[in-house]
Structure 1
Amino acid sequence: MTVTIPIKSIDLRHGSAIAIQSLSWNDCENILDELGEDRQTRIAYHNGTLEIMSPLARHERPHRIAGYVVTAILDAQGKDWEDFGSTTFQKHGLADVEPDTCFYISNSAAVRNCEGRIDVDIYPPPELAIESDVTSKTLLSAYEAIAVPEVWIYRDEDLKIFLLTDGHYLESDSSLLFPDMSIKTLIPQLVSRAIKIGTSSMLREFRKSLSNTYGLT
């Protein structure tokens, strides 16, 4: 006997995830429609596997702090940027992914007016995606299909940087977007600093150091 359970009735505990195998692209889209946009879960779909993840409350803070650090650096460098948060990115028929947060930089003007799900067959993918406390096996393969050039994964006070190379991710000690900064050590240090003295105080300190670095007044 087969029992059909409405997706919305599945109650995931915070910090847990569910994987659904052998799922067609159309079925995945139907599930996304049923889940709606106003939800706390994150999804990753690739090659027939859909993972639905329910993050812990403590999961949110590191990626938010990392995002603040990114915007502080970009502002100090005088670069335009757009933060697309946990927008759903799609490669039609193949993949969906929702970052914890993500950024457009050189392509920010191309997507400034975009709303809702973004089809990467029409628009460029974000240049940076940031994730925290990730254990999903589907996530990186989905990012590969979407072709996000750089992915940061923060977990257990450590940052891993993945750069897209010939269609696959290779772990790197340095950031392609910020080659002159020791991002791998900087982000964990600033997350720890923010937790110790508060995010706003950490950012004021960091912006002051950036002003000295870039000669800003």
Structure 2
Amino acid sequence: MAMAVKPVEAASQCVILHGVSWATYERLLEDFEDRHAAHFTYDQGSLEIRVPSIKHEEPNRVLASLVDMLALEWDIDMRNLGSTTFKREDLARGFEPDTCFYIERVAQIRGKDDLDLTVDPPPDLVIEVDITHPSLDKLPLYAAIGVTEVWRYNGTSVTIYTLTQDAYTSSETSHVLPGITSAVLMQFISESRELRRPDWLRRVRQWAQSQANP
């Protein structure tokens, strides 16, 4: 089947291809295995290739640093697996998150360097920065694979999605990190733009210490 390209603006740094075989997707992953310039998402024949920009990467790193700091202050064991490639051939789906964490199921992957989603659990938390249009709707893909929670930042707000049965519902409060709300996430993203990095990290630490350990 011939691939169809969905045109996008050059500034979006994203292209979507349709009619892509699983074999082609896996060849691309192999060819770009040691490069981190592009992220690939595959959903039943549709392939999104995204090149992260500063507007994309900065809030991603801010939210990831926030989770790291909260885990430290609240003594929560977790693994930050960044943009690791996750895929299920039987579902014809695969993705490379902006950042992902194992928190509730971290014990199940302790010490493992290679994960097989037909055996191992998916991440508990995925951070997604989606300020590019058009882009694939990744929520059905994450739901099919079983990601517990998704934080999606669209450039102006953060929405927390929690998995209920086989679909996501928006929630004001995080399930995997109780005490975290959409408002808190946006507050720290906004403050990260205004404060020096050391001051911002101290601000996050002070806030975490002021909250009851969930």
SS state of the match for residue 190, structure 2? Answer: helix
- Aligned pairs (5 A) from 1:38-77: 38-77=35-74
Instruction: Provide the rounded CA distance (Å) in 2 between the counterparts of 1:41 and 1:15.
Output: 13
Instruction: Provide the rounded CA distance (Å) in 1 between the counterparts of 2:31 and 2:88.
Output: 19
- Aligned pairs (5 A) from 1:1-217: 15-93=12-90, 94-115=92-113, 118-134=115-131, 135=133, 136-181=135-180, 183-214=181-212
Provide TM-score, normalisation by structure 2.
0.86
Is the CA contact (8 Å cut-off) linking 2:122 and 2:145 kept in structure 1?
yes
Question: For residues 106-165 of structure 1, what are the alpha-carbon distances to aligned partners after superposition, in whole Å with 9 as ceiling and x for unaligned?
Answer: 22233233335x331121111000011344224222212221010011122310111112
Distance 1:36 1:131, change over 3 A: same
Instruction: Provide the rounded CA distance (Å) in 2 between the counterparts of 1:193 and 1:64.
Output: 14
SS state of the match for residue 109, structure 1? Answer: helix
Instruction: Provide the rounded CA distance (Å) in 2 between the counterparts of 1:37 and 1:143.
Output: 24
Provide TM-score, normalisation by structure 1.
0.85
Tell me how far 1:14 sits from its aligned partner: 6.0
Is the CA contact (8 Å cut-off) linking 2:125 and 2:148 kept in structure 1?
yes
Tell me how far 1:30 sits from its aligned partner: 1.5
Is the CA contact (8 Å cut-off) linking 2:103 and 2:176 kept in structure 1?
no
When the two chains are superposed, the root-mean-square deviation of aligned CA atoms in Å is 2.2
SS state of the match for residue 113, structure 2? Answer: coil
Instruction: Provide the rounded CA distance (Å) in 2 between the counterparts of 1:178 and 1:110.
Output: 18
Is the CA contact (8 Å cut-off) linking 2:41 and 2:49 kept in structure 1?
yes
Partner amino acid for 1:105? I
Instruction: Provide the rounded CA distance (Å) in 2 between the counterparts of 1:89 and 1:111.
Output: 14
User: How many residues get paired?
Assistant: 204
Partner amino acid for 2:19? S
SS state of the match for residue 52, structure 1? Answer: strand
Instruction: Provide the rounded CA distance (Å) in 1 between the counterparts of 2:137 and 2:212.
Output: 39
Instruction: Provide the rounded CA distance (Å) in 2 between the counterparts of 1:174 and 1:195.
Output: 23
Q: Gaps spanning 5+ residues in structure 2: where?
A: 4-8
Question: For residues 157-198 of structure 1, what are the alpha-carbon distances to aligned partners after superposition, in whole Å with 9 as ceiling and x for unaligned?
Answer: 3101111122112222221123333x2011111111111012
Is the CA contact (8 Å cut-off) linking 2:104 and 2:176 kept in structure 1?
no
SS state of the match for residue 78, structure 1? Answer: coil
SS state of the match for residue 30, structure 1? Answer: helix
